[in-house]
Amino acid sequence: MATINENFLKLQAGYLFPEIGRRMRAFKTANPKADVISMGIGDVTQPIAAEIVGAMKDAADKMGTREGLHGYGPEQGYDFLRNLIADNDYKSRGVDIDIDEIFVSDGAKCDTGNMQEIFGLDNVVAVTDPVYPVYVDTNVMAGRTGNAKDNGQYDGIVYMPINAENNFNPELPTEKVDLIYLCYPNNPTGAVIDKKSLAKWVDFAKENKAIILYDAAYEAYISEPDIPHSIYEIEGAKEVAIEFRSFSKTAGFTGLRCAFVVVPKQLKAYTKAGDVVAVNQIWSRRHCTKFNGASYISQAAAAAVYSERGKKQVKDVIAIYMDNAVRIRKALSDLGYTIYGGVNAPYIWMKTPNGMSSWDFFDTLLEKTHLVGTPGSGFGLAGEGYFRLTAFGLPENVDEAMKRIAKLYTL
């Protein structure tokens, strides 16, 4: 008899985006003429930059020749890409990252989801609330939690609320935690963390022999000076942090797939007996066993992101999204909504009007204005009463969406 991993049965049935899709389809079926604009799922809409497309074509042409064929590449990624990452993302910020510390992959969703498996099941996981659901669900699947409670939170996970009062930076936990997931610029709230606040987390991790899993997928959207783009800009972070990066939001690779994770050689974890283990070696072993490398074409495309022209073109695309964010922020503020984010991240986190629940606001917005956003409660208990809009839409749709919202209420 084949038994199932019952941890999977603990997962809540309605994962956020399928439920949004279900309600959207039901609405469209009932209202086939409605022009529904989605500002829900965080997917890009601008075409991939010309320099990157050119690099992909070149790579594809090479693959069609005997000399240029690339079969299985190194599991950790090609050196040409890892060198560019080390120089452009780290050396340029005064951080020395060796290419052996960089593992190229096909996405940060996989990396953030997979990383937990090299750590013991007895680790206590801490996440912000609201949170990117991948961190929680993958720990549930692994069996690092108990069942979901009535409020949707899992027994055994430490939830750290982030809200306007704490500037969307969680308080340091008072209980024992071992693996701490932080995401800045933050999805879903659009908030950032400054160096001083991040340094507190690095110190905390050192004192508690904990590890920070730092998701910097939106690093390229930081517009204000002095906001750290990498956790390694903080002194000592290499001893306690793993960093996740992705080309998805940086360069529109959501459909192309390329990302990387940095696991420093100084990073230590422990056996139950207290012996020190180098995390880099364990991750390398895991990565090489379960992953056969990101495609050559994706990595060639990623390398083009770092060319002079690639950098400029990618910046221009990000400017289009962040201009959307400016207009969303302005329109909503003028209407009297309380909003956060949208300055260093492509997400605007808004308070629902009149204390409405997140899902009630979702339904109202869809019914009355044919707009789709993401209910804040889908990201956690503390997200109730909030709503996430993305700035990844087409500029003309953003303007139309704001016109429709203006008609919804005048507060």
Ligand X SMILES: *Cc1c(COP(=O)(O)O)cnc(C)c1O
Least distance CB 371 / ligand X (angstroms): 21
Whether the Cβ atoms of residue 259 and residue 244 lie closer than 8 Å to each other: yes
Query: Could you tell me which residues come within 8 angstroms of residue 189 by beta carbon, excluding any fewer than 6 positions away?
Result: 130, 162, 168, 340, 341, 347, 349, 388
The answer to the question of residue 302 lying near ligand X (CB under 6 A) is no
The answer to the question of residue 137 lying near ligand X (CB under 6 A) is no
Can you tell me which of 78, 103, 119, 132 binds ligand X, judged by CB under 6 A?
A: 132
Residues in contact with ligand X, shown as a per-residue x/- string from 90 to 129 under the rule CB under 6 A? -----------------xxx--x-----------------
Residues in contact with ligand X, shown as a per-residue x/- string from 42 to 61 under the rule CB under 6 A? x-------------------
One-letter amino acid at 403 equals K
Report the greatest alpha carbon distance in the chain.
Answer: 66
Residues in contact with ligand X, shown as a per-residue x/- string from 245 to 264 under the rule CB under 6 A? -x-xx----x----x-----
Whether the Cβ atoms of residue 385 and residue 357 lie closer than 8 Å to each other: yes
Give me the residue whose beta carbon is nearest to ligand X: 107
Can you tell me which of 139, 145, 187, 298 binds ligand X, judged by CB under 6 A?
A: 187
Q: Total residues at the site for ligand X (CB under 6 A)?
A: 15
The answer to the question of residue 329 lying near ligand X (CB under 6 A) is no
Query: Could you tell me which residues come within 8 angstroms of residue 122 by beta carbon, excluding any fewer than 6 positions away?
Result: none
The answer to the question of residue 215 lying near ligand X (CB under 6 A) is yes
d(CA 334, CA 357): 22
Output the six-digit token pair for 173: 């936990």
Name the residue nearer to ligand X (CB basis): 129 or 215: 215
Name the residue nearer to ligand X (CB basis): 241 or 331: 241
Name the residue nearer to ligand X (CB basis): 212 or 405: 212
Strands (E), 317-385: 339-341, 347-351, 371-372, 374-375
d(CA 291, CA 235): 32
The answer to the question of residue 190 lying near ligand X (CB under 6 A) is no
- Within 10 angstroms of residue 56's Cβ, the number of other Cβ atoms is 17
Question: Which stretches of the chain bind ligand X, using CB under 6 A?
Answer: 42, 107-109, 112, 132, 183, 187, 215, 217, 246, 248-249, 254, 259
